[in-house]
Amino acid sequence: MPRSKWNLLSLLACCLFAQNSFGFSPVIFIPGDGGSQLEAKLNKSSVVHYICAKTSNEFFNIWLNLELLVPFVIDCWVDNLRLEYDNVTRTTKAPVGVDIRVPGWGNSEPVEWLDPSHESSGAYFNTIADALAKIGYIRNVSLRGAPYDFRKAPNENEEFFVKLKVLVEETYTMNNKTAVTLVVHSMGGSMALHFLRLQTQSWKDQYIRRMISLSTPWGGAMKALKVFAIGDDLGSMMLSESTLRTQQITCPSLAWLIPSPLFWKPSEVLVQTDKYNYTISDLQKLFTDMEVPNAWEMRKDTEKYTQDFSPPGVELHCLYGYNISTVEKLVYKPGTWLDGYPTLAAGDGDGTVNARSLAACERWAKRRARATLNGKPVKALALPNAEHLKILHDQRVVDYVVTVMQL
């Protein structure tokens, strides 16, 4: 992949973006998968383990709550946070007796810290928010948050997009009619892209100053298929991939993040076995053979959101990492079929998302050079060794964001 020869300061110096005539642009943070707090209230008649609570008098933090992510107790967590898919209504719902809500709409704190106790392991947008506060931003006025149920894909998040439009307009008005900057991370970038496509160009021209995207999987990621196959331990040696997989594979957002045919070739093998080599064209067979048929149903529900790669229609700063080992293919040893543990063949990326998906925004930059993007600037910056989540605390990124917000 070609890399820009410009260093960070040179890139910023050459950005000829017009000054925002409204002044200091307020910020709305849009988080990615796992980037919003979730609260639960229980009224269950049965549980999966005797140590699990059946009822709770009030809502309690279920994500991110490290006290629930420990052996045995995690079985309760999985059962409470999983979703049940209905292939007639094409929607998901919580198990009977479980009520999940997303706290803190409009506030920055719930997306700055995933753990309300502000444990360092739950740090999210806080580093960027602190840096912006130092130059004059005010939390819940010019720094705001748009959390959502990250387990679900756009087809079940219609209310979020309606509320987000209201939040943008409200934030615009609160800040002396100043156009808003969307600072997005990971899947939050994909959610923001869909949101912007729903709006008219005149609305975007008035209310959106720019979008700053960090680690967005524009074309999906092979890690999503890896999670369907074996789960993900969230980076903790204490957690079991197979246990967490029970909850993870019930999430439509995971199906949405499966690699897009716009960026993976039809002949490219994604899952290799001695009986069959699965490509992007074999997803139905793959999920059937994995014995996760709902994954295919959820993929069909979300596929339409992966077929359009039209630009957002706003000024875009696209920052992402590379030079980190990232899963590109699952390789099963002969005789293991799909019930063994595959070798994770690696390629370039940010440790979570493949390089081709992260760099997809560069296509818009090239198209703009051919005058096809309505004059909206697109700047892509690839940062060596900027890991998918740690990019939020990378000083190069923090400095870039602060600099751009003062243009």
* Torsional sign, CA 240, 76, 118, 109: positive
Burial annotation 213-233 (CB, 10 A radius, 16+ → b, else e): bbbbbbbbbbbbbbbbbbbbe
Give the Cα separation of 332 and 272 in Å (integer). 6
| CA–CA dist 68, 320 (Å, integer) | 32
Q: Which of 186, 190, 213, 253 is catalytic?
A: 186
Q: Give the span between the Cα atoms of 81 and 332, in whole angstroms.
A: 30
Q: Answer for the pair 319, 383: CB distance below 8 angstroms, yes or no.
A: yes
- Contacts by residues 174-178 (CB-CB < 8 Å, ≥ 24 positions apart): 174/26, 174/141, 174/142, 175/24, 175/26, 175/141, 175/142, 176/22, 176/23, 177/22, 178/20, 178/22, 178/23, 178/24, 178/25, 178/26, 178/209
Q: Any catalytic annotation for residue 202?
A: no
Residues 317, 350, 357, 394: which is the catalytic one? 350
Nearest Cα residue to 256 out of 338, 342, 390, 150 = 150
Residue matched to tokens 């196959």: 229
User: What are the residues facing 269 on neighbouring strands?
Assistant: 279
Give the number of C-alpha atoms closer than 13 A to the C-alpha of residue 321, restricted to the C-beta side: 24
H or E element at residue 14? helix 8-14
* φ, ψ at 296 (rounded to 5°): -70, -40
Exactly one of 36, 79, 388, 394 is catalytic; which is it?
388
Query: In Å, how far are 14, 165, 359 from 9, measured between CA atoms?
Result: 9, 33, 20
Is 281 a known active-site residue? no
Is residue 186 part of the annotated active site? The answer reads: yes
Adjacency order of strands within the sheet including 60-63: 60-63, 38-42, 98-101
Dist CA 309 CA 364 (whole Å): 9
User: Three-state DSSP class for 294?
Assistant: helix
Q: What residues are labeled active site?
A: 186, 350, 388
